[in-house]
Amino acid sequence: MSAAPILESDLHAYADRQLAPEQTAAVEAALAREPALAARVTDISAQNAALRDALDPILAERIPERLLDAARPPAAGAARGAGAGRWRVPLFAAAATLVLGVALGWFVRDALIERAGTPTTFARQAAFAHALYATDARRPVEVWAAEEKGLVTWLTKRLGFPVRAPDLNSVGYALVGGRLVAGNEKPTGLFMYENADKQRLTLQVRKQAPGTPETAFHYAVENGVGVFYWIDEECGYAMSGNIDRTQLLSVARVVYGQIAALDAAPK
């Protein structure tokens, strides 16, 4: 019995690492047999990288004022006037609004707080990003650990300063990969790690404003996520996870030591 043909959709899913293990094996076998298919996957991966390079800067832009204004609660009179027709909204539209609100509500809320003169904290944004991506079973990162060198180069280019991915195997956590995270202040690089029990930690790094004073380790808990964060040479770092504070501190210290050693090494 001949194998099922490999479709264009299979190649895209393979390049995006969205295939089940048995499907992945079938595609890889086809790529080994047919150079044309392998070349197509290379083209798809290059296209994905080009799209990231072209569109990722948009993720770092501030939320437009019109969207912030739209997020404000309506005036009392307007709310009463809209009440009569609110039940006519289709259920699917209400569900879509709920999903969008969960995804964007944190950042919109923080942007409104900032515009009112109260800065949000790096720890809060780090905890939210950790909660959002660490629980994603299918696509927790944009670039996987197998492409670590490319990931580091890409984040260095996007953040505008040298970025490193610490090695946490000594404390039982292997690199999963990383991604660029949009913030309402500055773009942030995120590295994700996982241990044998599938517990995940994230290290997030971003450039601080010039003149930001250095700070030692600080600990915060945001919505159940523990965060150790510090500032060193105008770079902010945040180690986040749902583990014991002492364990998280020990991991953060390993990260701090490795980054310090790399910074001190001859270029």
pLDDT digits (tens, 9 = 90+) for 117-164: 434 578 888 998 999 999 998 889 999 999 999 999 999 999 999 999
Strand pairing partners for 231? Answer: 215, 236
Q: pTM for the complete prediction?
A: 0.60
Whether residues 111 and 129 share a domain: the answer is: no
pLDDT of residue 87: 44
pLDDT at residue 116 above 50? no
pLDDT of residue 43: 83
How many structural domains does the chain have?
A: 3
Which position has the token pair 């280019």?
157
State the Cα–Cα distance between residues 2 and 34, nearest whole angstrom: 15
Whether residues 94 and 127 share a domain: the answer is: no
Asked if residue 1 belongs to a domain, the reply is: no
pLDDT band at 266 (very low <50, low <70, confident <90, very high): low
Nearby residues of 8 by Cβ (< 8 Å), 6 or more positions away: 40
Whether residues 260 and 140 share a domain: the answer is: yes
Asked if residue 208 belongs to a domain, the reply is: yes
Give pLDDT tens digits for 194-223: 999 999 999 999 998 777 777 788 999 988
Mean pLDDT of 53-71: 63
E-strand ranges in 64-185 read: 143-144, 174-181
Which residue range(s) make up the domain with 101?
Answer: 65-115
> Contact 212/178 with Cβ under 8 angstroms?
no
Asked if residue 77 belongs to a domain, the reply is: yes
